[in-house]
Every structure is written in C-alpha cells, then in structure tokens.
C-alpha cells in the first residue's frame, strides 16, 4: 500500500492514498486504521476524509469495536460517486466498459477493430463507444473521471505514445492519449495492455499478492510484471 505524507503541499497525493486505503478495505476502514496503514497523522486523515465525504466519494457507515475506547466509525467508497471508462485496443477487437468507483462493470461493449487499423479510425470508433456507454448508462458525464486506455506495446507512457506495435503495422509513434482525450473531452491514461492486466490482477485477483506476473496469449503474446505492489514498465 502506498504511504502518505503529512507535508501540507501534498494534499492531492494524500487524497489518492486515503482513497486507495478505503478501496482496499472491503468491509470498511476506520480513520485510525487508515492512519496506521498509510503513515498519515490522525489529523491529516480526518481532514482528507472530510473532503472526500463532501465530494460524495466516501461515506460513513457502521461501527467497529477494536480494543479499548468508543466504537470507531467505518468509511466506505460510494460506488456511484464517480465513474470511469476502460478501453482495450486489440488488433482484432476493441472492448470498452463503464465502471463505478468500486470497479464494478456497469456497461460493456465491443466492436471489431477497423480493418485498415488506421489510428484516426480507431480513435473515432473508441470515442463513439465511450459516448455510447455513458449515454446508455444515463450517468452524468461530469461524474466520469476519465478513460483508462490499454493498448499493445511498446508504449511511451510519459509521452502518451504508442510506438511501434508489431500487430498494428501502420502505427508509428501515435499520440493515442492526446488524440482520444481530444475526441472524448475526457482525461486519458494510457498503459500497455499487459501491464494494465497485471494491475487488474493485483487489485481484483484472488489472494493478496504484491509480486506477480501476468501472461497474455491472444492476438499477440506478452507479460506484465508487478513487484512490491508496483507495475514494472520497460
């Protein structure tokens, strides 16, 4: 689990750390438990969780008695507090899903990848799929955090580029992240498909593993690696 900091200038990072701690606690977590797991002070956790509650991302619900003292109030994610879209661009098929804050799939759609495999055609198709998912679910577009986009490697994650995927011969240093963000009006996070799959296994797979390898065999072949709870890129 990621650790936080009590420095006042790192509020955004601490918000992510606290949300991650609540997400990992299937039965809910108290503020003191979050402080212990993240290394944040009790006051910092109180301040962060107050803002998260005000934003509709976290709710209080239930109590737990652990040790001496009064019962502790548990915090839970609000599933419908925010939404996100996940997209997998495969040389054969494009798959898109709409998820809530807990990662539950609310809508799912797939479509054959355009035969020409031109980047502009793929971006246009993905944008239509994203718009269709949001409209079909009837969610407020302002509540959609963004798009998580998994594509064949190699990928320059920092620059948002798909470099030279063997199964997509017409793709050379394609700025897929910025192109899709422009087409949808949403923030886009680009990741190599096998790395994204390895992270999904880390978060939602069976067991509590901090080290794992994910092997993909489909249209292509690849391996995603997680060490110490963090994805390895390269």
Tell me the H-state helices in 103-212: 119-137, 176-184, 193-204
Instruction: Tell me the C-alpha distance between 133 and 98, whole Å.
Output: 6
Do 228 and 161 share a structural domain?
Answer: no
* Residue at 204 is within a domain: yes
∠ CA 3-5-11, nearest 5°, is 110
Contact (Cβ atoms closer than 8 angstroms) between residue 56 and residue 90: no
Domain of residue 111, CATH code: 3.30.420.40
Do 189 and 86 share a structural domain?
Answer: yes
On average, the pLDDT of the chain sits at 89
Do 177 and 125 share a structural domain?
Answer: yes
Q: What is the pLDDT of residue 213?
A: 85
Do 128 and 140 share a structural domain?
Answer: yes
* Owning domain of residue 223: 197-232
Do 153 and 128 share a structural domain?
Answer: yes
Query: What is the tally of structural domains in the chain?
Result: 3
* Residue at 66 is within a domain: yes
User: What single-letter DSSP state applies at residue 233?
Assistant: -
Q: Which of 16, 86, 2 is nearest to 57 (CA)?
A: 16
The phi and psi torsions of 151 (rounded to 5 degrees) equal -140, 160
pLDDT band for position 10 (cuts 50, 70, 90): very low
Q: What is the pLDDT of residue 8?
A: 42
* Residue at 3 is within a domain: no
Contact (Cβ atoms closer than 8 angstroms) between residue 174 and residue 114: no
195 CB-near residues (< 8 Å, 6+ apart): 224, 225, 231, 232, 233
Do 67 and 166 share a structural domain?
Answer: no
Please tell me the least confidently modeled range out of 64-78, 156-170, 172-186: 64-78
Do 101 and 38 share a structural domain?
Answer: no
Do 203 and 189 share a structural domain?
Answer: no
Taking only the tens place, the pLDDT of each residue in 101-142 is 999 999 999 999 987 678 999 999 999 999 999 999 999 999
Taking only the tens place, the pLDDT of each residue in 201-220 is 888 876 667 888 888 877 77
Q: 77, 93, 114 — which closes off a domain? A: 77
Global pTM reads: 0.84
* Phi-psi domain of 47 (left: phi exceeds 0; alpha: psi -120 through 50; beta: other): alpha
* Residue at 2 is within a domain: no
pLDDT band for position 149 (cuts 50, 70, 90): very high
Do 201 and 186 share a structural domain?
Answer: no
Do 103 and 43 share a structural domain?
Answer: no
Domain of residue 72, CATH code: 1.10.10.10
Do 219 and 125 share a structural domain?
Answer: no
Do 89 and 35 share a structural domain?
Answer: no
Q: Is the confidence at residue 6, as pLDDT, over 50?
A: no
99 CB-near residues (< 8 Å, 6+ apart): 83, 84, 85, 86, 105, 106
């Amino acid at each position: 689990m990621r650790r936080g900091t009590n420095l006042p200038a790192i509020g955004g990072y601490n918000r992510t750390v606290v949300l991650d701690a609540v997400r990992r606690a299937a039965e809910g977590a108290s503020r003191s438990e979050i402080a212990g797991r993240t290394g944040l002070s009790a006051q910092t956790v109180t301040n962060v969780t107050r803002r998260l509650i005000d934003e509709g991302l976290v709710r209080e619900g239930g109590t737990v008695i652990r040790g001496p003292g009064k019962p502790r109030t548990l915090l839970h994610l609000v599933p419908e507090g925010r939404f996100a879209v996940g997209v997998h661009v495969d040389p054969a098929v494009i798959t898109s899903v709409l998820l809530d804050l807990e990662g539950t799939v609310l809508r799912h759609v797939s479509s054959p990848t355009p035969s020409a495999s031109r980047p502009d055609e793929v971006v246009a198709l993905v944008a239509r799929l994203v718009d269709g998912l949001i409209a079909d679910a009837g969610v407020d577009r302002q509540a959609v955090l963004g798009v998580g986009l998994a594509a064949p490697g190699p990928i320059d994650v920092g620059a948002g580029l798909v470099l030279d995927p063997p199964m997509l011969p017409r793709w050379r240093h394609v700025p897929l992240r910025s192109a899709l963000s422009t087409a949808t009006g949403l923030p886009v996070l680009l990741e190599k498909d096998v790395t994204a799959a390895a992270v999904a296994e880390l978060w939602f797979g069976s067991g509590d593993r901090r080290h794992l390898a994910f092997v993909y065999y489909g249209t292509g072949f690849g391996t995603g690696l997680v060490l110490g709870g963090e994805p390895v890129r390269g």
